[in-house]
Structure 1
Amino acid sequence: MRIKTKGFKKRTSVDEALKILLSHTPLPSIEEIGISRGLNRVLACDILANIDVPPFDRAAMDGYAVRAEDTFGASQTNPIYLKVAGEVKIGEAKEIEVKPNEAIKIATGAPLPKGANAVLMYEYTRELDEEIEVLKPVTPGKNVSFKGEDVKKGEILLKKGRILKPHDIGLLASFGIEKIKVYRRAKVGIISTGDELVNLGEKLSEGKIYESNSYMLASLVKTSNSIPERKGIVKDNKEEIKKAIKEALSNDVIIITGGTSVGKRDLVPEIIAEIGKILVHGISLRPGEPTGFGVIEDKIIFMLPGNPVACFVAFETLIRPMLQKMQGLSLMAYSHYLVAKGILKRKIPSEIGRRDFVRVKFDGKYVEPIRVSGAGILSTLVRADGFVIVPENLEGFEEGEEVEVRLFHNYFPAP
């Protein structure tokens, strides 16, 4: 087949591949959900305050609601006496008024009675039978939360594109907002191909390995706030792979691993070219050169190498940014990793025109490459503290150079 014989004589740069991919990525769609399901979802529109908060003037401290001017001049040696004319508890709406030279006992959060303009804390009073001694004056507005002081009706509470956190959900509830519009999460079908693969729980025979890529990819999809669907193992058979792909078209995105290079048994590119269109095949990325993607019935389908580290790199480099766009998020590759700087203990070689993803150890000061090659050795990711990106315009980094490390152990799980 023509697809096999041309190989990777022309590799697409990462930036160009991403540009092509995002130009074919569908715009985010919107759904309405209850706020109890809103954690980590992305707002599709601004949320406006429908009420003032607080909705009334209220006490910010336990004490006495007073007219501040009635307390002026009070001191320990020259107390002022005020009559206690009642009490307001939290949750009550009493028709009660503070008159001159009166005080009303009040709880934190209770509505401020008419006539009052301050709350005198208990600590600055001495209780008598039906009155109090005021031992310190208060100024107007002291210890009062005024209506709309926190948020005024009509103000923007939460902006479009915000990823909702627990305190955001609480804020929405405090305004009585039950439903919100969010971007729909993408459904991602994951297919693993290869005659050598067996399912977990099955006995390994000679030449076989356990299928692991779909578990890793499903976890990565979840950290992208999307919904994975593992479709199982498909043998290296053209008709079976074609059938599995067609069945997976019920998803928004398809990821297929294995069979993506240019060997005789690498059937996936040939199948996608038959039933759809290949957009990119072969990327200047190490590990991950055999990565590609295309379109079938307006659905993006990714061809990822069977090597697990290459799978991981291709996901973070291409698939996560696409899933971000589908949820209305800004696109910043690798932005969910904390970045630290360190000094290289030995050289990292590369070549101009290729982006390298190098697994490294990092002790807080020094950076030591674990290996550049070895895309099939998943344990190197587990042993690594993070990774260093060698950009396309460099031939590597020299020993002693300061480099940026994106850290695994301080990885920010995306929503």
Structure 2
Amino acid sequence: MRRQWLGLTEALDRTLNKIPIMPAETLPVHECVQRVAAEDMYSKINSPSLTASLKDGYAVDSTDVARASNEHPVTLPVIGTVSAGEKPNCRLGKGQAIRILTGAPLPDGASAVVSQEFTKDQGNEVIIEADAEPGRNILVQGTDVKEGEQVVRRGEVLRAGHTGLIAAAGIDAVQVYRLPRVAIIATGDEILAPGEPFRSGALFASNLVTLSAFLRFRGIEVIMKVIEDQPDQIRDMVDTLLRDCDVILTIGGAWEGDRDYSLGVLDELGWEPHYHRVRIGPGKAVAFGLLQGKPIFCLPGGPPSNEMAFLQIALPAILAMSGYPPEPLGTVKALLTEEVGGQKNWTQFIYAKLAEINGNLTVSPLVSKSRLKNMADATAIIKIPEGIQVLLKDSRIDVQILV
């Protein structure tokens, strides 16, 4: 199983079929934006609960002002005033007007509201200088949402607009899928945690910080650990983190070299491996399995390989655990500014930068010798499917967007 090389699609499908789905939790409506609804939601009320005015102005019988204009105004007696939150204390009769403010309930007998800008206040009378057909400037009861109407479907990612609709529907608490708690373990005798004193020959754990940033950007809690290449340390750390975390990512030790211990330790712990090595570049040495029912991803240690295996396989799976679509990187069509080469035997990924030139969205591969600078400067990723050996200049291609 370990040495079976999978194509990207098969590896991702196998991963998504094995991951657990997180249980639901209840959040206040104002805290659920960008979370995934764990249930269908139905309005508890009509909103608005009463037929109300959309404008400050005058409630009228539309037939009384059917021919009103600036040249031929209509004068009506004003018999009362109604504001938002009040109940009208009188019924509108034929040939009368009631002063009404935005959000106030429409009085019985009224069929339209003339906006204030087309009126002249004369104290106990009002001069109407515009007509108003039935329903003008009126928001009918239940127009925004009706009692019993479905407002959210299970599985929807809740945007800001959803939260307002949910609140208007009389719902103050929302069932959403819980976000997983993710642990990231960087292994290597040469790896330093950020803040540790530097020593010659050492490397700061840039991969650890990068992956954590991608997860934290999406609201996911992350625990970061740096340990030496010692099987006992790896074993103890994995065993400890399994108690408190839902997913574990290991960085380094994924190739089965002389000092690559992560996979061996997981075997000893009794994990259920599902694959090791995927036909992608960079990022081939990625393994996935379950231990005590929890997903574990073993990622390669080289920065581009580490990030690409994470973005293309681990991140989609982690988000899918909370109900998100397994496509965390949006795509856009862009014009390729120069020819790029692919590979016969694997899906190739190339860091790139988006720009707008002469009204066209363009994408250019990044070719700096610095791996980390390419990763930092990239705003897109060019994906060249397995078997396609070249993408020509001026081709319009789909690219993944990095944020």
Query: Does the alignment reach a TM-score above 0.5?
Result: yes
2:322 alignment partner in structure 1: 327
1:308 alignment partner in structure 2: 303
1:106-185 alignment, distance < 5 Å = 106-185=100-179
In structure 1, what residue type is equivalent to 2:176?
Answer: V
In structure 1, what residue type is equivalent to 2:365?
Answer: P
Compare 385-394 and 239-248 and name the one that shifted more. 385-394
Structure 1 residue 359 corresponds to structure 2 residue 351: yes
**Do the aligned partners of 2:54 and 2:138 also contact (CA within 8 Å) in 1?**
yes
Distance in 2 between the 1:189 and 1:35 partners?
Answer: 28
In structure 1, what residue type is equivalent to 2:277?
Answer: G
Distance in 2 between the 1:171 and 1:368 partners?
Answer: 41
What is the SS of the residue equivalent to 2:76? strand
1:236 alignment partner in structure 2: 229
Compare 255-264 and 211-220 and name the one that shifted more. 211-220
Compare 322-331 and 283-292 and name the one that shifted more. 322-331
What is the SS of the residue equivalent to 1:378? helix
**Do the aligned partners of 1:358 and 1:371 also contact (CA within 8 Å) in 2?**
no
What is the SS of the residue equivalent to 1:105? strand
1:298 alignment partner in structure 2: 293
1:369 alignment partner in structure 2: 365
In structure 2, what residue type is equivalent to 1:246?
Answer: D
Question: Of 325, 338, 361, which residue of structure 2 is paired with 1:345?
Answer: 338
How far 1:166 moved relative to its partner? 2.4
1:259 alignment partner in structure 2: 253
In structure 1, what residue type is equivalent to 2:242?
Answer: L
1:60 alignment partner in structure 2: 54
**Do the aligned partners of 1:40 and 1:225 also contact (CA within 8 Å) in 2?**
no
Distance in 2 between the 1:67 and 1:137 partners?
Answer: 11
In structure 1, what residue type is equivalent to 2:351?
Answer: R
Distance in 1 between the 2:306 and 2:330 partners?
Answer: 18
**Do the aligned partners of 2:42 and 2:169 also contact (CA within 8 Å) in 1?**
no
In structure 2, what residue type is equivalent to 1:324?
Answer: L
Q: Which stretches of structure 1, 4 residues or longer, exceed 6 Å deviation after superposition?
A: none
Structure 1 residue 205 corresponds to structure 2 residue 199: yes
How far 1:129 moved relative to its partner? 4.1
In structure 1, what residue type is equivalent to 2:133?
Answer: T
How far 1:385 moved relative to its partner? 3.8
Distance in 1 between the 2:195 and 2:132 partners?
Answer: 74
Compare 125-134 and 142-151 and name the one that shifted more. 125-134
Normalised by the length of structure 1, the TM-score is 0.89
Structure 2 runs not aligned, ≥5 long: none
**Do the aligned partners of 1:342 and 1:364 also contact (CA within 8 Å) in 2?**
no
Distance in 1 between the 2:131 and 2:340 partners?
Answer: 71
How far 1:258 moved relative to its partner? 0.9
**Do the aligned partners of 2:333 and 2:396 also contact (CA within 8 Å) in 1?**
no
**Do the aligned partners of 1:41 and 1:225 also contact (CA within 8 Å) in 2?**
no
1:219 alignment partner in structure 2: 213
In structure 1, what residue type is equivalent to 2:222?
Answer: P
Question: Of 179, 187, 190, which residue of structure 1 is paired with 2:181?
Answer: 187
What is the SS of the residue equivalent to 2:371? coil
Structure 1 residue 87 corresponds to structure 2 residue 53: no
How far 1:58 moved relative to its partner? 0.8
What is the SS of the residue equivalent to 1:352? coil
**Do the aligned partners of 1:269 and 1:278 also contact (CA within 8 Å) in 2?**
no
How far 1:225 moved relative to its partner? 4.2
Relative distance call for 1:367 and 1:104 in structure 2 (3 A) is: closer
Question: Of 20, 34, 40, which residue of structure 2 is paired with 1:40?
Answer: 34
**Do the aligned partners of 2:42 and 2:148 also contact (CA within 8 Å) in 1?**
yes
> CA offsets per residue over residues 102-161 of structure 1, 9 Å max, x none?
111111111111111111223333333422233333222111111112222111112222
1:244-255 alignment, distance < 5 Å = 244-250=237-243, 251-255=245-249
What's the % identity of the aligned pairs?
A: 29
What is the SS of the residue equivalent to 1:92? coil
Structure 1 runs not aligned, ≥5 long: none
Distance in 1 between the 2:393 and 2:130 partners?
Answer: 69
What is the SS of the residue equivalent to 1:249? helix
Compare 86-95 and 165-174 and name the one that shifted more. 165-174
Distance in 1 between the 2:231 and 2:303 partners?
Answer: 23
How far 1:88 moved relative to its partner? 0.8
**Do the aligned partners of 2:145 and 2:169 also contact (CA within 8 Å) in 1?**
no
Aligned length: 397
**Do the aligned partners of 1:43 and 1:160 also contact (CA within 8 Å) in 2?**
yes
Compare 201-210 and 257-266 and name the one that shifted more. 201-210
